[in-house]
Amino acid sequence: MAAGLVALGTYVPSKVLTNKDLETFLDTSDEWITTRTGIKERRIAAENEYTSTLAIQAVEDLIRRHGQAALDGVDMIISATNTPDALFPATACLIQAHFGLNAAAYDLLAGCPGWLYGLSQAYGMVEAGIARKVLVVGAEALSKIMDWEDRSTAVLFGDAAGAAIVGKVPEGYGFRAFALGADGTSAKELHYGCVAPNLPDGTPLSRKGIFMNGREVFKFAVRVMNTATLEAIHKAGLRPEEISLFIPHQANYRIIDAARERLGLPWDRVVVNLDRYGNTSTASIPLALKDALSQGKIQDGDHLLLVSFGAGLTWAATVMTWYGGEA
């Protein structure tokens, strides 16, 4: 047996914030946002919704899709998030308590690639026999930390959650390769402060909202989307043309297009839903994966390529072979 995804669920808040809505309080326009990012609208958590709230709802969706028995045997919970309810206790512990699982639990902080980092850890735990099944959640309430006066970041992000279970699948299926990396020398390009006043290089940490050097992050993203995807494909023993479906981090349409071109993939083999959800960070790939499944774009034996980049600066990519009974 190998390790792969065996269940999946997602959740998005009901409140929709469109580009037209943003025009009412920001110096921006629907045309400006759409042209530069591809985003048309995003979901915003209600006042009483936080990361744990969204995460729990994503797990509830997983249960609706796969049955309560899907949680049987889950003995590890990894919550990948950049917006935990608190520094401690871990959001994963709040999830564990809600569902009464007999499981270890911890949070993982790795920027937008956090969910893929979590999948890699879950894969290692299942393969090594440390855990039988691992619940990996990517959840964000980014609206809670936004500077809603900063048009360079306020137009980009949305709130959402995705939850998956990693467990045993038949040989020949499941995860084939991971490519993970980080470049902390570029940490100043994308940050949000909490405890320390500055980064080690002296850069003041932003506390009013997310700080992003859009130009530098864009250049970084285009580069690592190329190198990380090719590394993962090579490790998996495949060629780019053998990738059935490309599921990238939903941050910017132009970044996705550049990666698609370099891989030589047509648009019908790429999943894009950022126009409806914006950048939901750790939740973006499970959200896109769920959309692809719902639209019948994934079949048994398909080779899927997932890639993300984000604050750190970090990146992650994985190739998996889909098992028809997984999700």
The fold of the 2-169 domain, in CATH, is: Peroxisomal Thiolase; Chain A, domain 1 (3.40.47)
pLDDT one-digit tens code per residue, 145-157: 999 999 999 999 9
The pLDDT, as a whole number, for residue 327 is: 57
Average pLDDT value for residue range 262-286: 98
Domain positions in the chain: 2-169, 174-321
pLDDT one-digit tens code per residue, 282-296: 999 999 999 999 999
CATH 3.40.720.10 fits 174-321, yes or no: no
For residues 109, 115, 116, 117, the Cα torsion angle rounded to the nearest 10 degrees is 30
Does the pLDDT of residue 193 top 90, yes or no?
yes
Choosing from 249, 252, 273, 303, the catalytic residue is: 249
In DSSP notation, 165-232 reads EEEEE-TT-EEEEEEEEE-GGGGGGEE--SS-SB-TTSPBPP-SS-EE-HHHHHHHHHHHHHHHHHHH
One-letter identity of residue 218: F
326 falls in which pLDDT band (50, 70, 90)? low
- Among this protein's residues, is 273 annotated catalytic? no
- Among this protein's residues, is 112 annotated catalytic? yes
201 falls in which pLDDT band (50, 70, 90)? very high
- Report yes or no: 314 and 217 within 8 Å, Cβ to Cβ: no
Are domains 2-169 and 174-321 of this chain identical in fold? yes
The pLDDT, as a whole number, for residue 324 is: 82
**Residue 237 falls in which region: left (phi positive, over 0), alpha (psi -120 to 50) or beta:** left
Looking at the whole model, is its pTM more than 0.95?
yes
The pLDDT, as a whole number, for residue 1 is: 85
Choosing from 19, 112, 191, 252, the catalytic residue is: 112
- Listed residue (50, 65, 52) closest to 5, CA to CA: 65
Q: What's the rounded Cα separation, in Å, for the pair 311 and 23?
A: 27
- Listed residue (48, 56, 19, 59) closest to 35, CA to CA: 19
- Among this protein's residues, is 98 annotated catalytic? no
Beta bridge partners, 308, equal: 316
pLDDT one-digit tens code per residue, 215-248: 999 999 999 999 999 999 999 999 999 999 999 9
Q: Which residues, in sequence order, are CB contacts of 21 under 8 Å at separation 6+? A: none
One-letter identity of residue 188: K
Question: Picking from 3-7, 151-155, 222-226, 321-325, which range would have the lowest pLDDT averaged per residue?
Answer: 321-325
